[in-house]
Amino acid sequence: MVHRVVFLGPPGAGKGTQAARIAREIGVPHLSTGDILRAAVAAHTPLGQKADGYMRAGGLVPDDLVLEILRERLAQPDAKAGYLLDGYPRNLAQAEQLSKFSDVERVVSLEISPDRLVSRLSERRVCPTCQSVYNLTTQPPKTAGKCDRDGAALVQRPDDRAEAITTRLKVYAEQTAPLLDYYRKRRLLRSVDADGAPDDVTARVRKALA
Ligand code: AP5
């Protein structure tokens, strides 16, 4: 199985859900730039203060800020054996930057029809403490409103509100979707059908990584 992997897909395709599962299975960290940025926003760090407005609106945080956090994270010891990148790269410039300091072995593209995405996103709830992801319909917590792992009150991401969702889908189509061709030309891309039960999607992702 490959160990340096990028997950691509539109907002709500299931990148975070699948990357977290596969990371546990193969013992490499799940690195989500969205999670890192949200933690910085919550901690009111200088990075978080700069990123907050872009994220709430559904736009991309400037490349130089994200590159810095990615470099720092990939330099940590647990990423030496590999990583599952979720949310990076997001445009061609980021893909070029990444290629300068790490050799990606495989890119998994989670594919799903756009009409599924809005309901997945508007029904998502997350744990602010451990980042576990739920869905009010498809993956509800055992106790309503509470995280199964640590009991924290679940919250809705500010960018999971209708206006920001529309912007995020547009940004994906314009800036991130061109990466599919970029990685296809480099023979790294595997497409995975992301519709269906999470366990079924995980089985398809495993095959794409074999
Ligand atoms: P980020 O956190 O990366 O958000 P995203 O790409 O929009 O992706 P999502 O987290 O919304 O969706 P997902 O595909 O992970 O789906 P999930 O598994 O949660 O980025 C957020 C923001 O940070 C960006 O907009 C930007 O501002 C900034 N940012 C981050 N990285 C950046 C970068 N590199 N450069 C610049 N800016 C950056 O699932 C969604 C829902 O569906 C959940 O409720 C889940 O339970 C449910 N679900 C999942 N799988 C299934 C299934 N098979 N069936 C039914 N329901 C399912």
pLDDT digits (tens, 9 = 90+) for 40-55: 999 999 999 999 999 9
Strand bridging mode 133-135 / 189-193: unpaired
Give me the catalytic one of 157, 161, 184, 206: 157
- Give 108 Cα–ligand 1 centroid separation in angstroms: 14
User: pLDDT grade, residue 187 (50/70/90)?
Assistant: very high
Ligand 1 centroid, distance to 194 Cα (angstroms): 13
Residue 126, pLDDT > 90, answer yes
Query: What confidence category does residue 186 fall into, taking pLDDT thresholds of 50, 70 and 90?
Result: very high
pLDDT at 7: 98
DSSP 60: P
Could you give the CA distance from residue 142 to residue 176 in angstroms, rounded to a whole number? 35
Nearest CA to ligand 1 atom 20: 34
Tell me the pLDDT tens digit for each residue of 68-99.
Answer: 999 999 999 999 999 999 999 999 999 999 99
pLDDT digits (tens, 9 = 90+) for 201-210: 999 999 999 9
> Could you read off the pLDDT of 1-29 as tens digits, one per residue?
899 999 999 999 999 999 999 999 999 99
Confidence of residue 115 (pLDDT cuts 50, 70, 90): confident
**Secondary structure of the chain in HEC code, one letter for each residue:** CCCEEEEECCCCCCHHHHHHHHHHHHCCCEEEHHHHHHHHHHCCCHHHHHHHHHHHHCCCCCHHHHHHHHHHHHCCHHHCCCEEEECCCCCHHHHHHHHHHCCCCEEEEEECCHHHHHHHHHCEEECCCCCCEEECCCECCCCCCECCCCCCECECCHHHCHHHHHHHHHHHHHHHCHHHHHHHHCCCEEEEECCCCHHHHHHHHHHHHC
Q: Which of 124, 125, 190, 204 is catalytic?
A: 124
Q: Which of 6, 8, 33, 109 best tests ligand 1's pocket when mutated (most atoms within 8 Å of CB)?
A: 33
Yes or no: say if 15 and 23 are a contact pair by the CB < 8 Å rule.
Answer: no
pLDDT at res. 1: 85
Q: Report the pLDDT value the prediction gives residue 171, as an integer from 0 to 100.
A: 98
Q: How far is the CA of 175 from the centre of ligand 1 (A)?
A: 15
Which residues are CB-neighbours of 129 under 8 A, at least 6 positions away? 147, 150, 152
Confidence (pLDDT) at 191: 98
Verify whether ligand 1 is closer than 6 Å to residue 120 (CB atom): yes
CA of 121 to the centre of ligand 1 (A): 8
